[in-house]
Amino acid sequence: MNILKDIREGNDGSIVLGNHPGIVQSILDFDYISGKKEPSVMALVAGTRKAQKFFFGTQEFLLPCFKSVAAVPKSYDTRAKWMLNVQSGRRTLESTNAFFERFPAALGGHIFAENVPELHALELVERFGRTHVIAGPSGVGILVPGYLKLGAIGGVGLEQLEQGKLADPGAIAVVATSGGMTNELITSVVRAGKRVSFSLCIGGDRFPVTSLTDVLTMAEEDDATEGIVYFGELGGSDEYEIVALLKSGKLTKPIVCYVAGVIDEAFDEHMQFGHAKALVARADESARAKRDALAEAGAIAPETFTAFLKEIEKLPNSVARDTLVDIKSLMNRQKSILSTREVVDIEAVPAFVEGGKLVQQRENGFAASALEAMLGRDVSDKTAALVENIFELLLDHGGNVSGAVNTMITARAGKDMVSSLASGLLTVGPRFGGAVNEAARTWREGVASGKAAPNFVEEKTRGGNLLLGIGHLKYRVGIPDPRVAALAEFASILKKHPHYDFARAIESVTTGKNGNLILNVDGVVAALLLDMLQEEEGYSDAELQELIEAEFFNALFIIPRSVGFIAHFLEQKRNDEGLFRLPEELLFVRKDEKKTKKEMSRQREGLHGVISFRDGGL
């Protein structure tokens, strides 16, 4: 397997587990300056939102977010070749396993966390060590200049991408245990007038998934690489892997090494340095012992860092033609509120009168236009007709429903139209009008689960929960809701109507318990619209779910009922009856029991504060 060749020839994408916006943005900037046409980061598996905004070049775009790797759509499979795991050490094993189970064709990844338990790291080594390239646990990732940046490697600032010449492939492989030193070495290579062929930070943990031997073998087999720069530290025995490779002739390219940690000799006892592995447990793990062994085996291993840099200068030089990067234009980019589409075509002005005559318009034109604006796609006549019917039926349902009452009370308090309408709309919720969306969620879940209606009802109503879309205060079996009956006719013009059928099946279960538990307007609107969108507009299950998550279905109530509320407002303004006050006898049912303050306090003492009465003073 020659992974570097794959990377340089392909257009591989990555999926990020967790979120580290700084690192993700730096990868996108790297893609852009490397001349890629599309971002390499395909999605985040993180959090509860659907997308997060990033820049690709100077343009903002939405990077999709998914709740789990299992939820990433199939369409990602061909390009998703890399994992960038920035989750905590506790979750690393589980999330890495889940990623490679979901994407068996993936090539590898990077694990950013520093506190991965040794046992977990070893399980990852066993599972993926032979077959995949995984940088870490810990460290900063993998870099193939011009092709792939997986992690913080090479820095996250725009100037750093330019300074490290990350868009320009070269001939020097940079390998280090330390993240900071990986970047220091990339900078040093560039300062010496050379460019990097690839860089992999194996991390400072004890058990890196991809071992030093694996990385150096990659470098040896890579045609682009002519020399290797390595930084290691005291502790552990990785450097003996280099010694073994050199001695067995498996590593023939020049390798310049620095093993840090002679400072340990200044202390009475061996000290634990920053990285987990950086502690001398045996004599042969000291910086000096490892450096001497490397030098003896034929590596270039100077004593001081300055001498080390001098040796880097002597490594072969590849011809580099640097990409000119306009960093300035990227640095001045501005974040904005994202709106990706025009809701309506502002250029297209409808003409209703031409040549002194009315022009024949599209049937149910307003419903169709409203729907198209909301959904962002054209709709069929059938769908437009259903929505027109819904709009007309839901326009108003009398002045005694709670939203209308609030509108009227507000109007009579002398408020304006918007305030009155708003107070009516603010009443819309689970018990009034706002149940359409929840009903849609219930029917969708029911159809998707394939469960039998009685079991579904049993599960859903356990613990006294209500089924939204079912039940009415006034109508019951024998007194059907005429609006439901009218809408139900739409089922007859559809080939299939699984949601409507499911809703009816539920109704037959619930009415068996109570005659009032009939399919109500919210329920039938939700069911028929789901069926209509699926059959007529080609909505997939996932797209329907997306509409539910966005609360689209409640719009079918809010739009027409706003008209109804305005009508009630206008009527109140016409009548101008003055401030409304609820008659006292309606509110204070025990008004005659009202007592004097003295009596009340006596009563309180007697009842130890467990009294319940209403004070009429407010």
Partner 1 sequence: MSRVKLTEYRAKKILLGDSYKGISLPTGKLPEAGKWVAKVDQGVKKRFKQGLVGVGISSTDATKRMAEWKKKGFSQFLLEPFVPHKSEEEQYFSLERVREGIRMLHTKDGGVDIEAHPEAVQTHIIRKGDEASIAETSGLPADFLKRVIEDFNTHHFAFLEINPLVVQKGATHLLDAAVLVDSAGEFFVRNSWTEQDLVKTKAKHRAEEKIEELAATTPASLKLSVINSDGGLFLLLSGGGGSIVVADEVQLEGAGHLMANYGEYSGGPTQEETYLYAKEVVDLMLASKSKSKALVIAGGVANFTDVRKTFLGIIDALRESAAKLRTAGIKVFVRRGGPNEAAGLELMRDFLEKEQILGSIHGSDTVITKAIDEAIEYVRV
Residues designated catalytic = 275
141: left (phi over 0), alpha (psi -120 to 50) or beta: left
Q: Does 116 bind partner 1 (CB under 8 A)?
A: yes
Helix, coil or strand: residue 538 = coil
Instruction: Give SS3 for 517.
Output: coil
CB of 150 to partner 1, least distance (A): 13
User: Does residue 267 interact with partner 1 by CB under 8 A?
Assistant: yes
Using the rule CB under 8 A, give the single segment among 152-160, 329-337, 433-441, 513-521 that binds partner 1. Answer: 152-160
Is 406:426 a contact under the CB 8 Å cutoff? yes
State both tokens at 182. 């990986």
Q: Which is nearer to partner 1, 303 or 445 (CB)?
A: 303
Stretch that binds partner 1, among 56-64, 70-78, 111-119, 569-577 (CB under 8 A): 111-119
Kindly state whether residue 263 participates in binding partner 1, applying the rule CB under 8 A.
yes
Distance from the Cα of residue 334 to its chain's centroid: 22
User: Does residue 284 bind partner 1 (CB under 8 A)?
Assistant: no
Selected binder of partner 1 within 19, 211, 323, 516 (CB under 8 A): 211
278 vs 488 by CB, closer to partner 1: 278
- Residue 23 binds partner 1 (CB under 8 A): yes
Specify the stretch interacting with partner 1 by CB under 8 A; choose among 6-14, 29-37, 174-182, 531-539. Answer: 174-182
Number of residues that bind partner 1 (CB under 8 A): 65
168 vs 233 by CB, closer to partner 1: 233
In Å, the largest CA–CA distance within the chain is 105
Q: What is the DSSP letter of 71?
A: G
Composition of the chain by helix, strand, coil, percent to 5: 45, 15, 40
Q: Among residue numbers 444 through 483, which ones bind partner 1 (CB under 8 A)? A: none
Residue 131 interacting with partner 1 (CB under 8 A): no
Smallest distance from the beta carbon of 119 to partner 1, in angstroms?
6
Query: What separation in angstroms does the CA of 287 have from each of 136, 203, 236, 339?
Result: 22, 17, 10, 57
Q: How far is the CB of 68 from partner 1 (least distance, A)?
A: 21
Backbone angles phi, psi at 117, to 5 degrees: -60, 145
Closest of 582, 580, 572, 583 to residue 421, by C-alpha: 572
Distance in angstroms (rounded) separating the CA atoms of residues 523 and 390 = 12
In angstroms, give the least distance from the CB of 248 to partner 1: 18
320 near partner 1, judged by CB under 8 A: no
Kindly give the interhelix angle for 239-247 and 212-221, rounded to the nearest 10 degrees: 40
Q: For residues 184 and 220, which CB has a smaller minimum distance to partner 1 in the complex? A: 184
> According to the binding rule CB under 8 A, does residue 11 interact with partner 1?
no
Among 35, 117, 430, 482, binds partner 1 (CB under 8 A): 117
Q: State which H helix or E strand residue 134 sits in.
A: strand 133-135
CA distance 552 to 546: 9
- Which of 108, 169, 261, 469 binds partner 1 (CB under 8 A)? It is 261
Residue 594 near residue 413, CB atoms below 8 Å: no
Query: CB 125 → partner 1: shortest distance, Å?
Result: 7
CB count, 10 Å around CB of 396?
A: 16
Kindly tell me which of 189 and 503 has the beta carbon lying closer to partner 1: 189
DSSP annotation string for 252-268:
-S-EEEEEE-GGGGGSS
**Structure-block tokens of residue 344:** 């309506």
Residues recorded for the chain = 618
Q: In the set 118, 221, 322, 599, which binds partner 1 (CB under 8 A)?
A: 118
Residues near partner 1, by CB under 8 A? 22-23, 89-90, 114-119, 122, 125, 140, 152-157, 159-160, 163, 176-184, 186-188, 191, 204-207, 211, 231, 233-234, 258, 260-263, 265-267, 271-276, 278-279, 287, 303-306, 309
